[in-house]
Amino acid sequence: MLRRVRGTDDVEAEMNDLLKASNVARNTKHPFRKIVERKYRPQLVMAIALPFFQQVTGINVIAFYAPLLFRTIGFGESGSLLSAVMTGAVGAFSTFISMLIVDKFGRRALFMAGGIQMFVSQIMIGGVMAAKLGDHGGVEGEGFAYMVIVLIGVYVAGFGWSWGPLGWLVPSEIFPLEIRSAGQSITVVVNFLFTFIVAQTFLAMLCHFRAGIFFFFGGWVVVMTAFVYLFLPETKNVPIEKMDEVWKSHWFWKGFVGTAEDCKI
């Protein structure tokens, strides 16, 4: 299979790496104990941070409460439902685009570009709503209401081709086989936990923050984009069995897992 995938008969080195990783995974009896060891600190941090940041982008606010949000800015019942459907279609199309370009531009580039796109659109939405939101919940001026709709579409597109799919893709690429089951489990649990928390608290935050809720989530987008820039190495075209070398050459994580030179010894 390796010969067929790689298009060459020279696959012995990669095959040996796979066999070695498989043997290590088979001999690991307690992956949840293993993942808290110091040498797996980068993977543990990513298993918690990436799904947490994925939820505090505020995307589930749009996904769960889009009709309510659109009614808040002045659209009727049918207009709110139509706008929500169109927003969902934009997100789905953006995710498809991400599938086509992620291996060309890399994970970090899409993370950061998507973060910038989401931040700018959220700040503009918050600014328009803060300036034009009427006392009774409608955005003053039909043009401004449609501007908010367009900006929400831009925001959803930014999430759809960056943090949406990559929040699941990158964790699947960084866990070595011996802790893979534990790492993926933690990722799913954290994701669902903060999906629940955001969904349960959004209405209260909307009532108290009003337009400021977009500034709140925009602030988290800044934090998560900076986190990716500083702490997440590029995983494009890196086999799982070679990820250790990536961590060992990273400016911060090498203090936990060693250096690239150590790996060669």
For the chain, give every domain's residue range.
Answer: 35-256
Please give the residue that has the higher pLDDT: either 8 or 130: 8
- pLDDT of 52 strictly over 80: yes
Point out the least confidently predicted range of 47-51, 119-123, 129-133, 202-206. 129-133
pLDDT score for 174: 92
pLDDT score for 137: 52
**Please, are residues 153 and 122 in contact by the beta-carbon 8 Å criterion?**
no
Q: Rounded to 10 degrees, what is the CA torsion of 89, 95, 100, 104?
A: 140
Q: What is the mean pLDDT of residues 143-161?
A: 85
- pLDDT of 140 strictly over 70: no
- pLDDT of 225 strictly over 90: yes
Q: What is the pLDDT of residues 53-97, one digit of tens each?
A: 999 998 877 776 666 666 666 665 655 566 667 777 888 889 889
- pLDDT of 248 strictly over 50: yes
* CATH assignment, 35-256: 1.20.1250.20
Tell me what the pLDDT averaged over the chain comes to.
Answer: 84
For residue 237, report the phi and psi dihedrals to the nearest 5 degrees.
60, 20
d(CA 237, CA 255): 24
Q: Helices 163-174 and 142-160 meet at what angle, rounded to 10? A: 20
pLDDT score for 265: 37
- pLDDT of 264 strictly over 70: no
